[in-house]
């Protein structure tokens, strides 16, 4: 009964928290922490990261990352302006940097701060692959996924506190609650939440890369190369923050025509 009351409290909290709208899906999303707080912090952390790592500048690869990033972010702004979201990016400060690191990764911080590691470039295999990755990373920024993750983490913490307060006089059940809550909210809530964001970024990314003039089906080839490079070394999907490569490829196959149809509204009918 006490546990049910805790869950009720959490659910009521979820209903009362601040929300915002994802322009690409039209759905309400968590926004406990406003961008006015998140973006300055993200920009500071990004600058600190760059100061502590080797940023590659002036090379063909560095220029490619910069140029593709500018094209993709411009395409995103075109879509937003055409769909009634003029000014949506007013607080964004786009930045696209290549960092010398053999890790196969790229990432985005809130407000449009993006890093590509040199280790992902062989798998990108040229400008089109970089555009597929860039579309995905830019999409994370557009959809405020960082804000949503922070908000979800706060709700998870609120739930933990509520459960512990409710069971403060019952140490044995409190311990059981903490173990069950930690595993349950991670596997049952936070990881699916993260995988949802990754799939959402894949779908949005296809659209904006197509509007930028890049062939969206290149994302299929990219993830095939990613799968080959991983040598099957990945956790089961339900224990991962990301969908499996197979899931991503199948999803992207179903979204390519949609992306091209959206691009055609902007007069883009041929693709690199």
Q: Does residue 8 register a pLDDT over 50?
A: no
The pLDDT value recorded for residue 140 is: 87
Q: What is the pLDDT of residue 106?
A: 92
Instruction: Print burial letters for 34-69: b (CB count within 10 Å at least 16), e (below 16).
Output: ebeebbeebbeebeebeeeeeebeeeeebebbbebb
The model carries a pTM of 0.77
- Active-site position among 77, 95, 137, 200: 137
| Least trusted range by pLDDT, from 48-52, 65-69, 105-109, 215-219 | 105-109
Closest Cα to residue 225, out of 141, 139, 128, 137?
Answer: 128
Q: Write down the pLDDT at residue 250.
A: 94
Instruction: Write the CB contacts of 8 (distance below 8 Å, at least 6 apart in sequence).
Output: none
Rounded to the nearest integer, the mean pLDDT of the chain is: 80
Q: How many CB atoms lie within 10 A of CB 217?
A: 20
Beta-carbon contacts of 41 under 8 Å, excluding residues fewer than 6 positions away, are none
Region of poorest pLDDT, from 120-124, 175-179, 181-185: 181-185
Q: Is the pLDDT score of 86 beyond 50?
A: yes
Q: Packing angle between helix 218-230 and helix 191-211, nearest 10 degrees? A: 140
d(CA 42, CA 33): 13
H-only helix segments in the chain: 2-16, 35-52, 60-82, 121-124, 127-142, 145-166, 171-185, 191-211, 218-230, 245-264
Question: Is residue 78 predicted with pLDDT exceeding 90?
Answer: yes
Residue with structure tokens 């459960």? 163
Directed axis angle between helix 171-185 and helix 145-166, to 10°? 160
Active site annotation includes 246: no
pLDDT exceeds cutoff 50 at 72: yes
Which of 75-79, 108-112, 234-238 bottoms out in mean pLDDT, i.e. has the lowest?
A: 234-238
| pLDDT recorded at residue 37 | 81
């Amino acid at each position: 009964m006490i546990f049910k009351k805790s869950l009720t409290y959490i659910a009521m909290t979820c209903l009362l928290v601040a929300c915002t709208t994802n322009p690409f899906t039209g759905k309400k999303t968590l926004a406990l922490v406003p961008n006015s707080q998140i973006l300055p912090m993200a920009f500071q952390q990004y600058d600190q990261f760059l100061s502590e790592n080797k940023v590659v500048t002036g090379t063909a690869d560095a220029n490619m990352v910069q140029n593709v990033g500018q094209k993709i972010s411009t395409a995103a702004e075109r879509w937003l302006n055409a769909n009634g979201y003029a000014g949506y990016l007013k607080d964004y400060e786009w930045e696209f940097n290549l960092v010398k690191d053999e890790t196969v990764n790229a990432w985005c911080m809130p407000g449009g701060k993006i890093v590509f590691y040199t280790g992902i470039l062989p798998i990108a295999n040229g400008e089109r692959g970089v555009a597929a990755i860039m579309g995905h990373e830019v999409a994370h920024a557009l959809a405020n996924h960082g804000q949503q993750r922070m908000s979800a983490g706060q709700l998870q913490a609120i739930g933990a506190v509520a459960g512990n307060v409710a069971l403060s006089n019952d140490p044995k059940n409190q311990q059981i609650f903490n173990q069950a809550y930690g595993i349950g909210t991670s596997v049952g809530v936070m990881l699916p939440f993260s995988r949802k964001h990754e799939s959402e970024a894949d779908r949005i990314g296809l659209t904006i890369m197509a509007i930028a003039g890049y062939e969206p089906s290149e994302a299929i080839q990219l993830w095939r190369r990613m799968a080959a490079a991983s040598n099957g070394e990945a956790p089961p999907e339900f224990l991962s923050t990301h969908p499996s490569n197979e899931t991503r490829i199948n999803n992207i196959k179903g979204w390519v025509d949609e992306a091209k149809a959206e691009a055609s509204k902007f007069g883009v009918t041929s693709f690199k």
